[in-house]
Chain A
Amino acid sequence: MIRKLKTNWLSIALAVVVIVSLVLSGIIWTNPFQYERPRKEVLSNQAQQMTTQSMGDLYLPTTVVKTNKNNKQEMLYSQKENLVLQLQKTIKHWQLGHASVVKTNNSDVYLGYLRQANSITLTYPDEVAGSTFNQTFSQSIDSDRVKQVNHIVIPLNGRHEIYLLSDHHYGVYRVRISKGDVTKLWKVGKQAQRVPVDHKIVNGQAVMVYLRSFSLPVLSYQVNRQKIDNLSTNLLGTSRRTNIATHHYDNKTTYTDGTNRRLVYHQQNGTINYENDISKDNVDSTSQLPSHFYNVLVKAGMPLDNIRYDGESSHGRVLTYRTYAGGSPIINENGYGGAKMQATTGGIERYWMSLYTIQVPLPTEEQNVKLAATSTVLNELHANSHFKDLHGIRVGYLWKTSNSQVVKLVPTYFVRYRGNWVDYTEFIK
């Protein structure tokens, strides 16, 4: 046997290396991404150098509510302190342990936990995945158990636990704080302004309502207009292929680079539509989309410091991002200052963006705007024939162009009509 091996060792060694090479070729063949990925990763990291915002900062909660010992809730709001940032920094230093289900499918119990006495609640504009929560707060809770999070409720009475609430099926999850000091949160928002609020379940979602009229400042920002050439190169250009063909037609310019990618620029309102057929096999899974879209926004050159995730639709295949000012979203029919991104399971990616973003706040002498209580607004809307088509109500800022350099942001209520957020005054004319 050994002699046989000795005489034929050359053939055996040859057979071994051939088999190894076949296996390696197989690896590269079946998974070409291993070759593509690292290059992509390096690129996005270079872009990240430009921004201080990590992916977790894009998917931050946006509202902070404090509940007192009599279950009365107040939204905290500050022009100076960044309450969400303070809370994020504190929670990042905690070590969260085991997560367990407390209750599901009971809206009364759910509201009870949301209105828990003596607590601070952080609320996302829309649900995020448990894994995204982990990323934002540097935690590693079981994201298979806690699939979605809408609210983070932190009891302030020294119990070493927090509650993660998911509007979907009214899921309440208890998470142990194995290391961390809740008492540090007592002083959060001491100097902040307070607006009385409450939570109600409307169409299966916990909605925050304002109990009394309150006032918010009008804000002013400098408008950045990104050059379409930069944006199209950022989205279409790669290190290897830079030949971008343009085609003008009727106030529209189409940019193509000879692949499946296409970008249409609408000159009139400064918006773009981007479409890329990346085929069914290459499209990211729903859980990968939040980080994939973050990388796209960085690559597109969006200033991310005021931009937040604002909502999802189509079972997490469409994500919306908006600029936030003073804790509220900026809403505009052309999507200025934000982006909407879609990746269909069929393998088509679509982005809706605009050239206009805001970054630098400007001093303004405008008077504060007084907003009515949510119930008053709903009563006013009741008379409208479209009332039954209105879903959801929220406070945000309306984008009002002052001149080519400056935008004025005016606070108002928005209602959801046919999938879009519309200024409520449109319905009470």
Chain B
Amino acid sequence: MNFKRIQWIFLVAFLIFDIVVISTLLVQNRFTISNGSYNQQTMIIKEMHGDAISCGPLSNRQQTGYYLSGSRSSDNGQLEQQVSRLRNQDCRFNDDELTSELNTPVKINPRHPAKRLDRMVANPRLIALGSDYQYSPSLSDKNVVIYSQRVANRSLFTNEGQIRFRLNANHEVTGYTQTYLENVKTLRPQETVISQQHAVAWLYKHNLIPNNSQVRWAKLAYTKLLATNNHNQAVYLPTWVVEIKTKNSGTVQRIRVNAFNSTVLKGTPANVNTDDKTN
């Protein structure tokens, strides 16, 4: 082997070494610049489209919310006290729930049920405490129209504050059931919550959105975090409720994400014993 060839070999070897080291240094620098959480989220949303997950535009707006407490209106509660004022219906209050049959069914437009029902809900002789409820299109379907109670300027997505209007095949409301959350109190001053985009990106990152599916909606609403034995009061918090439909099987699931700390809320809320054992 002559000297020139050795020189050639060395030149190539060092050149490769230099290129590799320089490129790793550059790549690392680029990474540190571009991994702000905002960019990460938009990248994740792009990745989702690659996995055939479709979703509408997601908002990045910062919103706020509270920890709230309240109890379901029961015997002699606010809801039952209103019952005597109701007209043109047969109603009874049982198990903390008002069940009513309308004397004459109310015809509604199945595409825009709120057009007719908003008027009915606003009338205190037809619906008790109706001004506290608002139409929830995302929870309603062709058999039931749901009005959710509003607490702290947001809807309550639990069955403790809802009016469920039953529809028959002729798109007529024949009756309804109603629950009411009373004694709603703020437990902690307002705090910021995660954005809609953050919530959906988080679900995807933790493999909770299956491939080939559709994110139908993601709404920020109050849901129940836990129940206590203190006068049956429960704790509610802002939650991103996300509905996902699998395209092949057509199954629909709803996932709740705690909007304060982005954890998934599963199963029935826990019970907390607030008794003071030290006394």
Contacts and interface: CB of A to CB of B under 8 A. Distances in A.
B28 A85 contact: no
Nearest to B17: A21
Contacts, number: 143
Interface stretch (B29-37, B125-133, B247-255): B29-37
B190 A80 contact: yes
A403 B271 CA distance: 14
Interface in A391-411: 400-403, 405-406, 408
A68 interface: no
Contact of A80 (B10, B186, B198, B260): B186
Grouping DSSP codes into helix (H, G, I), strand (E, B) and loop, the A interface class, with mixed when no group exceeds half, is mixed
Contacts of B276: 402-403, 406, 408
Given A49-B40, A222-B272, A360-B67, A402 B191 contact: no
B226 interface: yes
B1 interface: no
Contacts of A401: 278
B228 A41 contact: no
B163 interface: no
Nearest to B277: A403
Nearest to B14: A17
A50 B233 CA distance: 28
Contacts of A361: 67, 187-188, 235
Contacts of B231: 363, 365
Interface stretch (A7-15, A153-161, A268-276, A336-344): A7-15
Interface in A1-55: 10-11, 13-14, 17-18, 20-21, 24-25, 27-28, 34-35, 37-38, 41-42, 45, 48-52
A363 B234 CA distance: 8
A363 B185 CA distance: 8
A303 interface: yes
Interface in A59-99: 78-83, 85
B7 interface: yes
A364 B194 CA distance: 27
A28 to B, nearest CB: 7
B221 interface: no
A42 B187 contact: no
Contacts of B262: 49-52
Contacts of B169: none
Contacts of B188: 79, 325, 361
A359 interface: yes
13 contacts: A18-B14, A21-B14, A34-B28, A35-B28, A49-B202, A51-B262, A81-B189, A82-B64, A360-B237, A362-B228, A363-B274, A365-B231, A406-B272
